[in-house]
Amino acid sequence: MLDTTRFVIPIEQGVNAVTEYAKRYPSRASHKWGSSVKVPGPLSINAFVKPTFDGTGLVIEACAPRFLLGHNVFGSDDIQGQISAIAQYIEGEMGLGKELSNALGKAEFHRLDLVVNLKLDDGTGPEDALEALDYRLNAMGSSLATYARFGRVESLYRNPRSKGRDLFYNKARHVAVAHTAISPLLKGRQRIKRWARCVLRYETRLGWSELRKDPRQLHRLGVWTPKLVREVISERLARIKVDGGRVIPIPRAQLSRLSPRLRAWAMLHAYCAPLQKALDRRTYRRARERILKDAGIDLFDKPSKRSGMSLERLVNDPARRIYGRPRWARKRLKKPS
């Protein structure tokens, strides 16, 4: 599905269009992204618009599902339809007639963020999946960067210094703490938040050079179909090799009674790590006694390697990928005409 995008539509007098809009709405002038203006969408989520350097077009940056639907927990893989809806809304707000719609055939992308929601098993939270992925990919020698909050991993970057980096993150946590993640004008906010608890979010970014170099001419709006969106996401996920490993829900209430060191050992035990080989006999025996006493977890009870959800299936099974909206949201959340 499409998330954040930056695209250019060639029109005459792009500078005048932005200048006139800023004069009409001085409070919507923005210095966050050059000499741009903010154009609020149908649910008060902004898109940013500025002229190109030569003044022969408009550069538009927006999170497509948030601009159109009020949130980006789920959305659509119909890129052409979403860009067309954004262009129609912006030209109406800026008084451009049909200039943007008529020039869509020449529109080019400078940035495309593609995302997909990976379905989790019942009883498994996105935090558990992220920590299991972090542990497994680290063990396999992947280059990783993590962002954690209150002791829980919230975002996991694979190859963080590369342009083709991969990102897994906890979307439920994002919509819970960011007050602008879901428009206050949107109905069904709590149901959307509950749905986000059932998925792990994957995101990949396509920059200008990568879009231009691809032989499929990915920088052109006209080539993007729902099939191509899924093809590109599948190609990116296929690069991530997760051999073995499982997502095993951890008893957080019990672990909270342990010291940070003992908590880490108990979590490694849950992931089937060979603690007896890593620790000397005396340290292992003392750790077992303390963990058993304080948390009721016995390190002698080996967790089954077949329990929990397979990480390999989570990342590489196409049946786990949710590209669109759940059925209950399809009628309620419509794109503006």
| Per-residue 3-state assignment (H helix, E strand, C coil) for 36-50 | EEEEECCCCCEEEEE
What is the percent of the chain where pLDDT is above 70?
92
**Residues 84, 12: Cα–Cα separation, whole Å:** 19
- Residues 50, 91: contact at Cβ < 8 Å? no
CA distances from 198 to 118, 180, 194 (A): 9, 21, 7
The predicted structure's pLDDT at residue 63: 93
pLDDT in tens, 250-278: 666 777 788 888 888 887 777 677 788 88
The predicted structure's pLDDT at residue 333: 41
Across the chain, mean pLDDT equals: 86
Helix residue ranges per DSSP H, the chain: 14-24, 64-69, 79-94, 99-102, 126-139, 171-177, 189-196, 208-213, 226-238, 252-255, 260-270, 275-278, 281-295, 311-316
At 56, is the pLDDT very low, low, confident or very high (cuts 50, 70, 90)? confident
The predicted structure's pLDDT at residue 334: 43
What is the model's pTM?
0.82
pLDDT in tens, 24-40: 998 898 877 768 899 99
What is the percent of the chain where pLDDT is above 90?
41
Secondary structure (DSSP) of 150-174: TTEEEEEEESTTSTT-EEEE-HHHH
Answer whether residue 335 shows pLDDT above 50: no
The predicted structure's pLDDT at residue 111: 94
Answer whether residue 306 shows pLDDT above 70: no
The predicted structure's pLDDT at residue 251: 66
pLDDT in tens, 62-94: 999 999 989 999 989 999 999 999 999 999 999
Block residue for tokens 């749905």: 195
At 313, is the pLDDT very low, low, confident or very high (cuts 50, 70, 90)? confident
Answer whether residue 127 shows pLDDT above 50: yes
Q: What is the mean pLDDT of residues 49-71?
A: 91
pLDDT in tens, 164-221: 788 999 998 888 877 678 888 888 888 999 999 999 999 999 999 999 999 999 999 9
The predicted structure's pLDDT at residue 250: 66
Block residue for tokens 């618009």: 49
Selected residue with higher pLDDT from 181 and 246: 181
Secondary structure (DSSP) of 198-228: TEEEEEEEE-HHHHHHSTT-TTBGGG--HHH
The predicted structure's pLDDT at residue 165: 83
Q: What is the mean pLDDT of residues 99-107?
A: 92
